[in-house]
Amino acid sequence: MPEIPNPMTGKTVLVTGGTGGIGKATAVGLAALGAHVGIVGRDRQRAQSAAADISAQAAAHGVDTHEVDVYVVDMSAQAGVRRLAREVLDVCPRLDALINNVGGYWATRHLTADGLERTFALNHLSPFLLTNLLLDRLKASAPARVVTVSSNAQANGRIDFDDLQGEHRYPGVPERRTHDYKRAGTTNLYAALDVVSGKVIADLTPRQRADEFRRFLNVIDRAVPANLDVHLILDNSSTHKTPAIQRWLVRHPRFTLHFTPTYSSWLNLVERWFAELTNKWLRRGTHRSVRELVASIRTWITNWMTPNPSCGTRPPTRSRQPRCILSTDL
């Protein structure tokens, strides 16, 4: 029986922000399917290390992959984006897919060499410019694809066309969060929501890695009565699947993880909770430091978990019965 070729054999893919996180995981997956992968990063040593790891993981899947191409540029600078496009066009006679994954956030306002606010330049202008510079090569390689990675929190973003440069938005003006959304934010919120009671187990960490997730699993383990099984519905993130997490699950057999596609709309109750936090608390507050942001989120969680009953009465001419509602003091 003839061997079935890998679906990406003979195809070339460029992944920006490919030295770690989602970008690196994407590059590994594509290389394991037979693609010739190029990754873009700012640090040459880290990029070369990531390239070697991607090749090794592809080989572990039985794929004799090409050497991973490494491009080192600062994509927040338009000159860097243009240099990257020239190098890709020189190296790659065809380009079957462009994965615009690079992104970042800075808590204070910085300008690039082009005089642009850095978060806006990196997250929005650089993928737009790179896509246009490579568009003819992509068309010539048809059918080709352009994939731009985003966060589901963009649904809450609003563009302030009078302040595209973010001159009035730092360090945290209320109700003015727009395209500077903290993609790799200043703090990371883990929240486990009981879909029956609505109660939340939460923790805040400076980063989002497997180590932090494992510590949060310990928080859940301590909070949930020992006689109950625990079923966690998670997005399909690589941080939830590392060997360390698998070993933890073996030691804690009452835990079962259920995965959904990353960033999918999976539970309305969970989405509603994060929307309440974002719209009624974070966007109305001024957070001048990470410490203030963390304290603010903890206050919100405490209030959510300890709602206070509020009762009111109407004049007798309108209603003879008192009305009671359950609310939080926010």
From residue 87, give the alpha-carbon distance in Å to each of 31, 52, 82, 107.
20, 20, 9, 32
- What is the predicted pLDDT for the residue at 185? 39
pLDDT at 70: 94
Told to judge if 181 belongs to the known catalytic residues of this protein, a careful annotator would answer yes
pLDDT averaged per 10 residues, the chain (length 330): 64 92 89 91 92 88 79 92 95 93 74 81 86 91 86 55 61 42 46 63 71 87 88 74 89 85 52 70 66 77 69 55 39
The confidence score (pLDDT) of residue 62 equals 75
Q: What structural domains does the chain harbor?
A: 12-156 (3.40.50.720), 188-305 (3.30.420.10)
At 157 the pLDDT is 54
Hey, what long-range contacts does 22-26 have (CB within 8 A, 24 or more apart)?
22/101, 22/149, 22/238, 23/99, 23/101, 23/102, 23/149, 24/50, 24/53, 24/54, 25/238, 26/99, 26/101
Catalytic residue chosen out of the listed positions 105, 181, 190, 263: 181
pTM score > 0.85 for this model? no
Residue 327 has what pLDDT? 37
pLDDT at 302: 79
- Check if the beta carbon of residue 133 is closer than 8 Å to that of residue 82: yes
